[in-house]
A and B are shown apart, each in its own frame.
Chain A
Amino acid sequence: MDEQKPTYEELQQQLAEANSLVEALRNHEIDAIVGEKSVAVVRLREVEEQLDDARRIAEERARELEAFSYSVSHDLRAPLHVISTLSSSLRKHSRQLDNTANEMLQRIEAGAKKMNHLINDILRLSKISRHRIIIEEIDLSSMAKTFFTELQQQNQGRHVEVRVGDDLMTQGDAQLLTIALKNLFRNAWKYTSKEAKAYIEVGSCEQFGKHTFFIRDNGVGFSMEQADRLFQPFQRLHSDSEFPGTGIGLAIVQRVINRHGGKIWAESEVGKGATFYFTLG
């Protein structure tokens, strides 16, 4: 028991020493570690700076691309407006046109309409990236129920069995999540349109240890080989005549989920429906 207790002063000194080490480590002021057999060089700051540079460049590129698509879409609107206006003026003289000319006019009008949709979609997509996120408590259950009621009212001829889990609560941006969920629901609604007994389910489960929401349908589905194209803008897995659309919906959904720090993925089999899973942060 002859071991001496450290004095108050010694303890103070040890504490100061420990603080100095912690600070030096935190500020990346350490450049080598002395081991029992050799000295290891530490270059944390360099690695971190390189990562920061790479991140900055990537963000800059994304911003540039965003600005580019935004301005292009805006610029395209003016000439498109000219085409639409002139073709509707021409429509007034349709009696003077022969059948071939009328058919061509119809195709011009349809093309202009489609282009208008695409431009609006590009603008919508870039809006998601510019949106300032405000996090609040979100009730996905009531959100889902409202959407389905709306869809049911708009499509009274259809009968879809809808099941929405209770208390699907989460944290997120209300505006963005509304857009994302609406897109997912509309998709499920659309791709079950050819089923005699359409079924859509919204719920939550545990996937890879994370709280995950899902929306499942028994629609046409898709081949998993094409899954990587699913979330790319303007990529469509079905023909326009079969299921109309511009191919922007899932790109928007993915962007919303990404902005929440979450992940989205899908599982499907042709003819056996699809399930979209997503996490939020």
Chain B
Amino acid sequence: MTSSQGKSIHLTLYVAGEEPNSHMALQNLNEICSGEIKELCIIEVVDVYQDFRRALQERIVVTPTLIVETAESPARSVFYGNLHDKDMVLEYLNAGIRKHG
């Protein structure tokens, strides 16, 4: 992974306060980013109750929504739900690092 040093993955998680799925999504996201890719992850949490305008601007329709962006790629990926399938998200992030790293 040394080749990917200096690159970053921007993860924006849109949640609805402490609603159960939102809470679980944040917990899962923290776990996903706790391993080897920890250094690369920049996590931002947006509570749609607090920052409604931002959610509208980003066209967020439901929560929890996770938006993954990398500096290298213009495309962004979107995951919905409480991220219970951590392996799937992690695999996606790793694939992104390999590709652009």
**What is A's interface to B at a CB cutoff of 8 Å?**
9-10, 13, 16-17, 20-21, 23-25, 27-34, 36, 38-39, 41-42
Contacts and interface: CB of A to CB of B under 8 A. Distances in A.
Interface in B24-63: 48-49, 52, 55-56, 60-63
B78 A17 contact: yes
A19 B90 CA distance: 17
Interface string B1-43: 0000000000000001001111000000000000000000000
Interface of B: 16, 19-22, 48-49, 52, 55-56, 60-64, 75, 77-82, 84
Given A29-B21, A31-B16, A31-B21, A21 B56 contact: no
19 contacts: A13-B75, A13-B77, A16-B77, A24-B82, A25-B80, A27-B81, A30-B62, A30-B64, A31-B21, A31-B22, A32-B16, A32-B19, A34-B55, A34-B61, A39-B16, A39-B48, A39-B55, A41-B16, A42-B62
B77 A34 contact: no
Nearest to B14: A34
Contacts of A13: 75, 77
Contacts of B80: 17, 20-21, 23-25, 29-30
A28 B21 CA distance: 9
A29 B77 contact: no
Most-contacted residue by chain A among B16, B52, B62, B78 (CB, 10 A)? B62
A39 B52 contact: yes
Nearest to B79: A20
Nearest to B84: A29
